[in-house]
Chain A
Amino acid sequence: MTTKKPTVAVYKFSSCDGCQLSILNMEDDLLDLADAIDIAYFLEATRAQKPGPYDIAIVEGSITTPHEIERIKEVRATAKTVVALGTCATAGGIQALRNFANAEEFARVVYGHPEYLHYLETATPLSEHIPVDLELWGCPVNKAQVIEVIVALLNNRLPNLPPYSVCLECKRRGTICVLVDKGIPCIGPATQAGCGAICPTIGRGCYGCFGPARDVNPGAMATMLRQLERYPGETARLFRGISGYAPTFRTIVDDILPANEEAQ
Chain B
Amino acid sequence: MPNERIPDMGSTITIEKPVFNLLLSRLKEEGYLPIGPRVKNETLVYDEIESIDDLPQGYSTKQKPGNFRLVHEKHSRFFDIIPGAQSWKQFLFPSHTELFAMRKNGKSWEISSQPMEPPKYAFIGVRACELAAIQIQDGIFMREDFTDPHYRARRIHAFVISVNCTQPAGTCFCTSMGTGPRVKEEFDVNLTELDDVFVLTIGSEVARRLLAGIPFDDASGYILSNVERKLEHAEHQMTRKLDSSDLPNLIIDHLDHPYWLEIGKRCLSCTNCTQVCPTCFCWDTQDEMSLDGKTTRRNRLWDSCFNPGYSHQAGGNTRPTIYSRYRQWLSHKLGTWKEQFGTLGCVGCGRCITWCPAEIDITEEIAALRNEVNR
Q: CA separation between A146 and B275, bound complex, in Å?
A: 27
Q: Are A181 and B85 in contact (CB under 8 A)?
A: yes
List residues 265-281 of chain B with CB under 8 A from any CB of chain A: 265-272, 275-276
| A35–chain B nearest beta-carbon distance, Å | 6
Question: CB-CB < 8 A to A176: which residues of B?
Answer: 43-45, 84-86
Q: How far is the CB of A1 from chain B (nearest CB, A)?
A: 6
- Interface residue A36 (Cβ < 8 Å from any Cβ of B): yes
Q: Which residues of A lie under 8 Å from residue B261 when comparing CB positions?
A: none
The answer to whether B270 touches A165 (Cβ under 8 A) is yes
Instruction: Find out whether the CB atom of B358 lies under 8 angstroms from the CB atom of A224.
Output: yes
A174 at the interface (CB under 8 A from B): yes
Cβ–Cβ contact B270 & A189, under 8 A: yes
Q: When chains A and B are docked, how far (Å) is the Cα of A217 from the Cα of B354?
A: 20
Interface residue? A203 (CB, 8 A): yes
In the complex, whether B322 has a CB less than 8 A from a CB of chain A is yes
- Contact assessment for B308 and A163 in the assembled complex, using a CB-CB cutoff below 8 Å: yes
A221 sits at the interface (CB 8 A): yes
Q: How many whole Å from A55's CB to the nearest CB in chain B?
A: 15
- Chain A contact residue count (CB 8 A cutoff): 43
Residue of A nearest to B355 (CB): A180
Query: Chain A: which residue is nearest B40 at the CB level?
Result: A176
How many residues of B are counted as interface, with CB atoms below 8 angstroms from the partner's CB atoms? 47
Which of A116-124, A150-158, A237-245 sits within the interface?
Answer: A150-158
Give the residues in chain B near A155, CB-CB below 8 Å: 289, 293
Identify the closest chain A residue to B275 (Cβ): A171
**In the assembled complex, how far is the CB of residue A26 from the closest CB belonging to chain B, in whole angstroms?**
10
Tell me whether A177 and B268 are in contact (CB under 8 A). Answer: no
Interface status of A32 (Cβ within 8 A of chain B): yes
Is A103 engaged at the interface, CB distance under 8 Å to the other chain?
Answer: no
| Residues in B neighbouring A219, C-beta threshold 8 A | 265
Instruction: For the complex, give the distance between the alpha carbons of A217 and B271 in Å.
Output: 13
Mark interface residues in B244-284 (1 if CB within 8 Å of A CB, else 0): 00000000000000000000011111111001100000000
Select A177's contact among B85, B267, B289, beta carbons within 8 Å: B85
The A106-163 residues at the B interface (CB cut-off 8 A) are: 147, 150-151, 154-155, 160, 162-163
- In the bound complex, residues from chain A placing their C-beta under 8 Å from that of B275 are 167-168, 171-172
**Shortest Cβ distance from residue A189 to the other chain B in the assembled complex, whole angstroms:** 4
In Å, the complex CA distance between A240 and B44 comes to 32
When each residue 62-97 of chain B gets 1 if its CB lies under 8 Å from chain A and 0 otherwise, what string results? 000011111000000000000011100010000110
Is B306 close to A, CB under 8 A?
yes
B307 contacts the other chain (CB 8 A): yes
Chain A residue nearest in CB terms to B310: A164
Interface residues of A in 41-92 (CB under 8 A from B): none
Shortest Cβ distance from residue B134 to the other chain A in the assembled complex, whole angstroms: 18
Q: What residues of A have a CB within 8 angstroms of the CB of B68 in the complex? A: 177, 180-181
Interface residues of A in 161-204 (CB under 8 A from B): 162-165, 167-168, 171-174, 176-177, 179-183, 188-190, 203
| Minimum Cβ distance to chain A for residue B51 (Å) | 22
CB neighbours (8 Å) of A171 from chain B are: 85, 95, 271-272, 275-276, 302
Which residues of B have CB within 8 Å of A1? Answer: 293
Within 8 A of A (CB), among B335-375: 354-359
Residue ID in chain A nearest B46 by CB atoms:
A174
> Within the assembled complex, what's the spacing in Å between the Cα atoms of A203 and B42?
10
The one of B44, B267, B270 that contacts A167, using a Cβ cutoff of 8 Å: B270
Cβ-neighbour of A165 out of B43, B90, B269, B301 (below 8 A): B269
A180 touches B357 (CB 8 A): yes
Give the distance to chain A from B61, nearest Cβ to Cβ, in Å.
10
User: Which residues of A sit under 8 angstroms from B41, Cβ to Cβ?
Assistant: 203
Beta-carbon contacts under 8 Å, A15-53 to B: 29, 32-33, 35-36
Q: Which B residues lie within 8 Å of A230 (CB)?
A: none
A154 engages B357 (CB within 8 Å): no
Residues of chain A within 8 A (CB-CB) of B45 are 174, 176
Q: Does B292 contact A (CB under 8 A)?
A: yes
Q: What per-residue 1/0 map shows which CB atoms of B182-208 lie under 8 Å from chain A?
A: 000000000000000000000000000
State whether the Cβ of B314 lies closer than 8 Å to any Cβ in chain A.
no
B306 touches A180 (CB 8 A): no
- Nearest Cβ in chain B — how far from A219, in angstroms? 7
Contacts of A180 in B (CB 8 A): 66-68, 85, 354-357
By beta carbon, the residue of chain B nearest A188 is: B270
Q: State the CA gap A180–B290 with chains docked (Å).
A: 38
Q: Is the CB of A190 within 8 A of B268?
A: yes
Q: Is B237 interfacial (CB-CB < 8 Å)?
A: no
- For A172, give its contact among B69, B96, B309 (CB under 8 Å): B96
What are the 5 closest A-B residue pairs judged by CB atoms, nearest first?
A: A171-B275, A189-B270, A172-B95, A164-B307, A32-B291
> Can you give 20 contacting A-B residue pairs, CB < 8 Å?
A36-B292, A150-B291, A151-B289, A160-B286, A168-B271, A171-B271, A172-B275, A172-B301, A174-B45, A180-B68, A180-B355, A180-B356, A180-B357, A182-B43, A203-B41, A214-B309, A217-B322, A220-B267, A224-B66, A224-B358
User: Interface of B with A (CB < 8 Å)?
Assistant: 41, 43-45, 66-70, 84-86, 90, 95-96, 265-272, 275-276, 286, 289-293, 301-302, 304, 306-309, 320-322, 354-359
Known: A155-B293, A174-B86, A213-B308. 16 other contacts (CB 8 A): A35-B291, A36-B291, A155-B289, A164-B308, A165-B271, A168-B302, A168-B307, A174-B90, A176-B85, A176-B86, A177-B355, A180-B357, A181-B85, A216-B268, A217-B267, A224-B268
